Amino acid sequence: MLNKLFNTTLLFSSLICVVLNAQTENLLTSISNEMEHFNEVATTTKQNEHYQPYIISVFEGKELEKLGILNLKEALTLVPGVDMATDNANTQTPIFRGSNPLASGQSKLFIDGILVNNVFFDAYSEYLSFPVEMIKRVEVVRGPGSKVDGINAYAGSINVITYAEDFKGFESNDKIVFKYGSYNYKMGGFIKTYKTDNLKIFIDFYYQKDDKKLPAGPDGLSQGVFGANNISLSKSGDAPLWLKEYSIGLNLTYKDFFLKARTLEHTQGSAYGINLALPQDSDRMKLPSQYLELGYNKKINNFKIDIKAGIKYDAFNSKSKLIPNDLNISGVIFQDGGYGEHFAAQRTIYQSSYLKYSGIAQHTITAGYRFIKEQTIDMSSKLSNRLTGDVALVDYTDTLAFFNKDAKRYTYIFSLQDEFQLSRTVSFIYGFNYEQTSYKDAGFEPKMSMVYQVDAQNIFKAIYSRSHRNSSWQEMFTMNNLARVGTTSLNPEKVDTIEFAYIKKISSDSYLQSNIFYLLNKDQIYNSSADPKYRNVVDTDIYGFEFEYKGYISSADQLYFNYSYTTGKSYIADENKNKSLPNIANHLLKGYYIYNLNTSLSLNGVAKYVGSKDRVSGDTREKVKDYLTIDSSLQYKNQKYNYTLSLSIKNMFDTKVTFPSPPNTYVQDYEQERRSFYIAFKKEF
């Protein structure tokens, strides 16, 4: 049925007609009153973010470079209400406002507008190492208020803008960059743009590697994950968290047509072991990601057409020692340990068509659809002989698969939205997404927001939105695994969000932003070592507030800080009682300070405080301890030859930082990096 609906919609996509009139002058007044060109730039680059109908924070790439920020992960740790979590595979995940730290797909990541969450985990851990020198700007929306191209973001969305963004008067420079640092970190990359009147070609490339190892253990065997008779085989040591990665991106624009493509080859150490046994140094996991999108944008009188089609490939590819020497499983002794190679490749095909119409005064109506087909296209499972304990690999793809090789899902999304400019001071956006899948449907999800601009300095916002997260491939299709058991009967996680915000614009680049939020989460997906099957078993009510300031103390400096408070209750169906939110820091305090000693030299600092965290129900360990880290950097910019040298020190006071582990796994949690040093050289042309 979905295929027929999709084909029919394609035939009539050119006939989508709706009604609209966009009057955005007062939203862009603070940027420019003189030229339409600068209005377009302001809208596209989110320079008018305070007037947008959602809660947004924007970080400029060049400021992040000054601060010594290495990559996207470090940039996201500056965002109000965002903390980080990890798991035994080191699938690191930003946690927005305490929303289900045990799941990966709570937020969505877009690279130049393209969704890159992988299908297997619904995560984007492989993109968190994206070097900051490749990033022009990071836009982070907290809450589900931003619906991009029909895509719902459950707890938040992140849009990474590369230097492919290029406007007259705001051109991007070509550059080369090299970095070196602790853990034998090495990185090199470049950006190149070629332009004619009608054609623009943009290429970025980088390669980076390190040999990072962090102390870990005792591993999960100490907690009996392979039975009480194997506890003595538990180990402590260094977890292999090394990285080897390269990426090349291509953006091509010809008149009204565009092409966006990227290939990312990401390989990392096996971290804490996919079976919770500490792996060998050479064990690895590959998470490749590739995408290609073609599109057409055209404005014809009061109509604006946006048509896209794309294909995306990602995979889970693990090669590791899964169990230690002399392990005894049901009388079979693995004298030389047990090994495994697991591979599952996913292909996503999508097509979307959206149309805006601005022919009716004070309204802009957008309507369209997005169709998605996700499918596992290859799968293999090889293990040491389970009957004899022999180390040689046996192909269990058909007899003991770790994953359903026939996994497939269709999703069809229809969106309708109206932007209504009631007056020069009040505007509304309201609409809905409707989603149908080949499993459990998310259904109808409304959104409404109001922006009230008292004057150029005082803005109020009120937002209501409903959103969801579909279960990931891991949660649906994992098989024959001690730690994870998938099921296709899962309902989507759902959230209703209410937000209120006040913004005080002090100047064009100074502001105060405060907001309160209330989240009602239903059917959150959870599993544990005691019951590895994924289930909809947790409901949470989350509420809190966030405060953000950016400004100056003097003309030579720049100050930014934010504070977030998050609290609430979780209801666990199996226990029939309310609990405090687990693995969530109630208090987050972050900030940075840039002091320009002169036009060439700046001294900069970053501070981050993360409060203590309660454990999940039944976990008797003490709370995860709070921590404060301070980073410092020095940047020199040579104006004559247009090159930059930067030196940064991370965690300069060598604070111990740990991310919580699930109960009955790594009892000492997952320790993170201590003090480290980095140097960077960048030359612009």
Arithmetic mean of pLDDT, 596-602: 94
Assigned domain for 345 exists: no
| Of 513, 531, 607, 543, nearest in space to 575 by CA | 531
Look over the chain and give the mean of its residue pLDDT values, rounded to a whole number. 90
Per-residue pLDDT of 189-206, as tens digits, reads 999 999 998 999 999 999
The DSSP annotation for 187-221 comes to: EEEEEEEEE-SSEEEEEEEEEEEE--EEEE-S-GG
Does the pLDDT of residue 391 top 50, yes or no?
yes
Does the pLDDT of residue 623 top 60, yes or no?
yes
Assigned domain for 601 exists: yes
Q: What pLDDT was estimated at residue 526? A: 85
Query: Regarding predicted confidence, which is higher, 109 or 577?
Result: 109
Query: Which of 36-45, 179-188, 523-532 is the most confident on average?
Result: 179-188
Query: Which of 17-21, 117-121, 149-153, 167-171 is the most confident on average?
Result: 117-121
Task: Measure the CA–CA gap between 302 and 515, rounded to whole angstroms.
Answer: 35
Convert 409-457 into a string of H (helix), E (strand) and C (coil).
Answer: EEEEEEEEEEEEECCCCEEEEEEEEEEEECCCCCEEEEEEEEEEECCCC
| 252: β partners | 201, 259
| Of 645, 606, 608, nearest in space to 67 by CA | 606
Query: Regarding predicted confidence, which is higher, 440 or 31?
Result: 440
Per-residue pLDDT of 260-286, as tens digits, reads 999 999 999 999 998 899 999 999 999
Assigned domain for 341 exists: no
Place of tokens 């009892």: 667
Per-residue pLDDT of 216-231, as tens digits, reads 989 999 999 899 999 9
Q: Half-sphere exposure of residue 261, counting CA atoms within 13 Å on the CB side?
A: 10
Q: What pLDDT was estimated at residue 169? A: 65
Does the pLDDT of residue 37 top 70, yes or no?
no
Assigned domain for 346 exists: no
Does the pLDDT of residue 44 top 70, yes or no?
no
For 114, the domain range is 2-336+353-684
Per-residue pLDDT of 281-326, as tens digits, reads 999 999 999 999 999 999 999 999 999 999 999 999 999 999 999 9
Q: What pLDDT was estimated at residue 36? A: 43
One-letter identity of residue 188: G
Per-residue pLDDT of 396-416, as tens digits, reads 999 999 999 999 999 999 999
Residue 79 sits in a domain of what CATH number?
2.40.170.20
Arithmetic mean of pLDDT, 20-41: 39
Does the pLDDT of residue 90 top 50, yes or no?
yes
Q: Is 472 helix (H, G, I), strand (E, B) or coil?
A: coil
Assigned domain for 83 exists: yes
Does the pLDDT of residue 467 top 50, yes or no?
yes
Assigned domain for 342 exists: no
| Overall domain count for the chain | 1
Assigned domain for 348 exists: no
Q: What is the pTM of this model?
A: 0.91
Helix (H), strand (E) at residue 681: strand 676-684
Assigned domain for 111 exists: yes
- Ranking 354-368, 474-488, 624-638, 655-669 by mean pLDDT, the lowest is 474-488
